[in-house]
Structure 1
Amino acid sequence: MNRPSASSMTFRRGTFYRRIGVIFGSQLIAVAIASVMGATQVVPVEAMLILIAIFSVSAWLATRRQWLQVSRLAGAVEAWDEQQAGSDVWLLGQLPPHTDVDVAVLSRRLDAFAHRIAEYNQRERDFTRDASHELRSPLTVIKMSADLLADEPLLGEPGQRSVQRIKRASREMEALVEALLILARESDNGLSEEDFVVNDVLKRELDAARDLLEGQPIVLQLEEPVRFALHGSPRVFAVLCWQLIRNACQQAEQGTIVITVMPGMVTVANRSPVDGGVDRHGFELAIAQRISERFAWPLELQTREDHWHVARIRFPQPLSM
């Protein structure tokens, strides 16, 4: 005989409570009868106690049976794989017709929620895969073309300046794409983790930044009182530092930007003009804050009275060198 479909099944609210009431009411009556029989010596006291114990165990088993549907749902939630579209345990068609309506509602909502999560995960994978290819490929072509143009001997000074702007814009776009792809992932799966030296990664980022700042009145200065390492993704760390450096460059517009490596901490400091500068709360800073929250690297911002702006990243678990 086929089980009725979910659409044709009707669940009643309060079924669980009614059955529990019947179970405990029956237990109370049975215990009362056994007690009266024992008090009037119709049965020995020992037999009365055995009957009460039997009635109590029977009530407990019946109650446990009524709770099986809730336990089944709890087990399904515990064993749920968010990469799958749903769980057969939650389907309404597999619930007994006498299931309480509250359990049926939970089953339906959990099944819909599981499908939404699975679809979201699939969209995330599709986006990160497609965006990684479709955005990085043109950027690679732009960078290679700009390098070829820069080596062209017939290119005049205005052309060289234009090429430098193209290279700078492509590098900034590359860093932006990298940051967005990191934040687009639900988790950091797919990012290689390793032990890396913070100072070495910063030096590489500063060398790239100096090339892009060529011709601008900004000096990048690295101070290294200490050296320490981290276990994590060096790519994520590089993107985070690049966003802070880029934000500091826009804030200062000229002068010196000081990047300092301290025990378990990296600071990026710049001095804005006395008459004010660009708003510090830009898009780069928003990305840096989201990355710091995602990877539990607290980001602190401070503006001192001498017009120095300091962005401070703390790393709770640094590795000693």
Structure 2
Amino acid sequence: MYPSIYRKIRWAFGIPTLIMFAIFWATIYVAENQLEIISLEHWLDTEYARYQRDFHQLGDSAPEPNPHEFITYQPLDTLPTWLAAYQKPGFYGHRTDGETTHFLVRPHPSGQGLLYIVFQEHADDYLDEYEAQLHLMTFILGAIVTGCVLVYSLYFIRSISAPLASIEKKIPYMAPDQPDFEVESQFRETREIEKTLLKSKTDISRYFQREQDFGRFASHELRTPITVVKGSAELLERLSIDHPLANKAIGRIHAASEEMSLLTDAFLLLGKAEIEDQFWSEIDIAAELQRVIQTLLPLYPSRACLIDTATSRQPQLAPRSFVVIVLNNLVKNALAYSDDDLKVTLTLEHLIIENNYSETDTAGYGCGLVIVERICERLDWSFEVTKLDSRYQACVTFPVMAQST
């Protein structure tokens, strides 16, 4: 299974958007917290600066920071246990029972010890109302931005995926028996794709029509002259012409007409999308092989054929013309191109024909090995040719009772 391009676009666009909004909300949250801390620290620094100024003028009688907002611990005061742990100047926040208490530690203006200025309970929450308003405004603004981005994302994804989905819907109409479709895309790239698909569909329909016409015309126009040739040969036989050359010519006419009829049937069957049941039959490969060898071997008197068919075989389900052409072609090519005896081995699953390869320019049979490959492919057989040095081997592998549709 291959991933969907629509899902790829959604994830590729959605994940960065989610990350961007996560960073956006995190930035606002951190900024709000930092703003609160800066405000509290500034307030405490202001109170300390005022107290320091007053202490230099009034000494110990200087008023401490606002007692309604702060608790001030002088160097000689007893510190709470949690506060005593802070012995270095700085601004701190101590969390206790879910609440954070902010305070400032500074050197005492007298130069002796430390001064602690601690917010009273809840006194450092004066920004809560402001924070609530800020949160509300941030939420509203973020919701508006989020909604706009989501709407735009959906629009963007649909604008990209819609032309692709339109092309995908047109693919089932590529079959020759389907009506033509219209080029609807408004984008240059996808429009070119649709135009190419439509042109390919038109070409396929024309090719298919030409094949149908050829099959229909060939079925009539080729078989008619073959029938005429056969009938003429039969008439010549009835004339009882007592001449060796005449009898030989009549025999050759019969053989050629049979061969033409066989090839015509095979070619027409190969051109069919489906081969009807009446063309299939159970073929005894061993018997057909013996017949082919007995027919062809006298044509090559200097050759011998070693046959090994010891293994008993079940018949093959196939059109007879296919089997005859495959066997006839392989055996005749092997005899014609061999400079030595021919070895034929027929096992339960293989037909192997071996010969010593000859470089003599001798014409092969019919359409050569190409037609054998096509027939084997149609019958779901495997065909392999191997050449090692001067040894040539052709191997056909077929399953027991192979079925074809």
TM-score normalised by length of structure 2: 0.55
SS of 1:80's partner is: helix
Deviation of 1:48 after TM superposition, in Å, equals 5.9
Deviation of 1:256 after TM superposition, in Å, equals 6.2
Contact 2:382 2:396 in 1 (8 A): yes
Contact 1:195 1:230 in 2 (8 A): no
Distance change >3 Å, CA 300–CA 121, structure 1 → 2: same
Contact 2:352 2:395 in 1 (8 A): yes
| Equivalent in the alignment of 2:274 | 189
Aligned partner (choices 38, 43, 57) of residue 136 of structure 2 = 43
Task: Say whether 1:314 aligns with 2:397.
Answer: yes
| Equivalent in the alignment of 2:101 | none
Aligned partner (choices 237, 241, 245) of residue 331 of structure 2 = 245
SS of 1:300's partner is: strand
Aligned alpha-carbon RMSD (Å): 4.2
**Take 2:356 and 2:381, find their aligned partners in 1: how far apart are those partners?**
24
Contact 1:269 1:311 in 2 (8 A): yes
Aligned partner (choices 110, 116, 137) of residue 224 of structure 2 = 137
SS of 1:311's partner is: strand
Whichever residue aligns with residue 369 of structure 2, its letter is L
Distance change >3 Å, CA 117–CA 85, structure 1 → 2: farther
SS of 1:43's partner is: helix
SS of 2:326's partner is: helix
Deviation of 1:313 after TM superposition, in Å, equals 1.0
**Take 2:239 and 2:153, find their aligned partners in 1: how far apart are those partners?**
88
Contact 1:82 1:114 in 2 (8 A): yes
Contact 1:143 1:170 in 2 (8 A): yes
Task: Say whether 1:164 aligns with 2:259.
Answer: no
Deviations 1:7-53 (A, max 9, x none): xxxxxxxxxxxxx9xx99xx89x969x95998682626665665465
Distance change >3 Å, CA 295–CA 204, structure 1 → 2: closer
| Equivalent in the alignment of 2:352 | 267
Deviations 1:91-111 (A, max 9, x none): 23x44xxx1111111111111
SS of 1:312's partner is: strand
Deviation of 1:127 after TM superposition, in Å, equals 0.7
Specify every segment of 5 or more residues in structure 2 that has no aligned partner in the other structure, as ranges.
Answer: 1-9, 33-130
Deviation of 1:161 after TM superposition, in Å, equals 0.8
Contact 1:224 1:262 in 2 (8 A): yes
Contact 1:243 1:287 in 2 (8 A): no
Whichever residue aligns with residue 337 of structure 2, its letter is Q
| Equivalent in the alignment of 1:64 | 157
Deviation of 1:235 after TM superposition, in Å, equals 3.8
Deviation of 1:62 after TM superposition, in Å, equals 0.9
Whichever residue aligns with residue 189 of structure 1, its letter is E
Deviations 1:160-195 (A, max 9, x none): 111112122223333433444455x3x642354998
Task: Say whether 1:284 aligns with 2:377.
Answer: no
Specify every segment of 5 or more residues in structure 1 that has no aligned partner in the other structure, as ranges.
Answer: 1-19
**Take 1:124 and 1:153, find their aligned partners in 2: how far apart are those partners?**
43
TM-score normalised by length of structure 1: 0.67
**Take 1:46 and 1:292, find their aligned partners in 2: how far apart are those partners?**
72
Distance change >3 Å, CA 149–CA 131, structure 1 → 2: same
Instruction: Give the number of aligned pairs.
Output: 280
Deviation of 1:216 after TM superposition, in Å, equals 6.0
| Equivalent in the alignment of 1:103 | 190
**Take 1:147 and 1:265, find their aligned partners in 2: how far apart are those partners?**
39
Deviation of 1:245 after TM superposition, in Å, equals 2.5
**Take 2:179 and 2:293, find their aligned partners in 1: how far apart are those partners?**
47
SS of 2:163's partner is: helix
Deviation of 1:157 after TM superposition, in Å, equals 1.8
**Take 1:220 and 1:132, find their aligned partners in 2: how far apart are those partners?**
37
Bigger relative contact order, structure 1 or 2 (CA pairs below 8 A, ≥6 apart): 1
| Equivalent in the alignment of 1:207 | 291
The within-5 A match list for 1:110-125 is 110-125=197-212
**Take 1:143 and 1:214, find their aligned partners in 2: how far apart are those partners?**
24
SS of 2:242's partner is: coil
| Equivalent in the alignment of 1:15 | none
Contact 1:257 1:268 in 2 (8 A): yes
Contact 2:383 2:394 in 1 (8 A): yes
Distance change >3 Å, CA 208–CA 264, structure 1 → 2: closer
Whichever residue aligns with residue 400 of structure 2, its letter is P
| Equivalent in the alignment of 2:177 | 84
**Take 2:300 and 2:393, find their aligned partners in 1: how far apart are those partners?**
21
Distance change >3 Å, CA 303–CA 204, structure 1 → 2: same
Contact 2:318 2:379 in 1 (8 A): no
Of 150-159 and 122-131, deviating more is 150-159
Contact 1:31 1:52 in 2 (8 A): no
Whichever residue aligns with residue 224 of structure 1, its letter is T
Whichever residue aligns with residue 253 of structure 2, its letter is I
Deviation of 1:80 after TM superposition, in Å, equals 2.7
Whichever residue aligns with residue 318 of structure 1, its letter is V
Name the % identity: 20
Distance change >3 Å, CA 213–CA 150, structure 1 → 2: farther
Greater CA radius of gyration, 1 or 2? 2
| Equivalent in the alignment of 2:128 | none
